[in-house]
A and B are shown apart, each in its own frame.
Chain A
């Protein structure tokens, strides 16, 4: 464990403290400064680091949300800027990344699972449980039907060629690892990590 060097002190700047401060001792009455507080409102913002989801460059972003964390229950993102400390982008954002606020607030943003049944032109809202159940069922049926254990020459292959997986640039390293593990364990060979969706 490293030893932290600490020469930092914490103070509270209350009305009593100000009355005995150097400001008062130098002959400047603190009354006006104390009274001026009534004109102001305290406003709070939360800032979070994030990675831009648009493309594989992975630029660093700072997202500003209103709310003081305790009183306001809804965080409302109101400002985005490039993270100057991010080693990849060093504060830069491209126009798409800089416009991410519109993406976050977009009316057409997908917020829940939907399905378009074969032969229809209508998107239907379904629950997460239904969506996952459905995907699993279809994958299992397809794999049971088309899994190949041997090729024409009799070599052991254990592959599943009728389903592919497409991952995207918003994946973290960890997601990419899991994607690889899951697809390979199932025998899927067709895996693409599309960089710019």
Chain B
């Protein structure tokens, strides 16, 4: 028999040894895109109605991983570059401030090369269009992505690819931070404390040290920051929330619900890792598009989550 001061494991299992103190802000790790690509391949099988789209997105995300782990950027921030911002509770990776220093266009051309052999005829046209675009034209598309604008008919199909390159560049920057930012201030806690972008969706985690704890997931840099359960991520009220999900034959379809607020008439998706441990906010948001469609048809709530891999006409 083990002593009382053991690690909390015994012959029948394990017991929590300490009070749960989940981190407030969590930076993405270096395998983020690889896990997301794996999840997209799973979802491709689970959602046959969207398999071609999810297949392409899976390849795009895999290309993101190649850029993140394989490419050395032309510029890296100095080791102490972000310390003043972190010390004073400012978002260290604000995209307005940093974008001119970052060679995200090289990430883009790397992603296009990685996709080259894996795409259909229609998507090859997108790769060619992006290769032919001037640097200024690409910057203009990036502006639309940053500002959550719908772009023009000509550029909308290119925006997810540009956004993918920007995501790589910003996730790489988060890895240069000496520590995660502090908990965001009350006024700004609905935007990413790292880069200031809005969330894609929220995710409820299932590891013992943060079991049942909910985080918002950044659309740009994939940082996750804590938001209490049962609270609207747009207006912060909690009195009129409904959790709406899809059911197929009486069983929940995908571990995704819309957290819909009757006060501000908006919803953000919430991804439940207790239901499927590999669920990913970005991937599962794309795959649960039927939920968005049903909610749009129903008409009570508008979507507040921003997923730059699927841009809507405004």
Contacts and interface: CB of A to CB of B under 8 A. Distances in A.
Interface in B33-69: 47, 49-50, 52-53, 56
A68 interface: yes
Nearest to A47: B230
Nearest to B311: A22
B106 interface: no
A92 B15 CA distance: 12
B241 interface: yes
Contacts of A11: 302-303, 312, 314
B242 A45 contact: yes
B153 interface: yes
Nearest to A5: B188
B196 A7 contact: yes
Contacts of B188: 5
- Looking at chain B, what size class is its interface with the partner chain? 35 or more
A92 B17 CA distance: 12
Binding site secondary structure of chain B: mixed
Given A12-B296, A28-B52, A49 B289 contact: no
B304 interface: yes
Contact of A43 (B247, B295, B314): B247
Contacts of A91: 20, 211-213
Contact of A46 (B148, B241, B314): B241
Interface string A12-53: 111101101111011110001111110111111111110000
Interface stretch (B3-11, B70-78, B80-88, B155-163): B155-163
B244 A42 contact: yes
A62 interface: yes
A37 B297 contact: yes
Contacts of A42: 244-247, 294-295, 298
Contacts of A14: 293, 296-297
Given A11-B302, A33-B49, A43-B247, A23 B310 contact: yes
A84 B215 CA distance: 12
Contacts of A32: 49-50
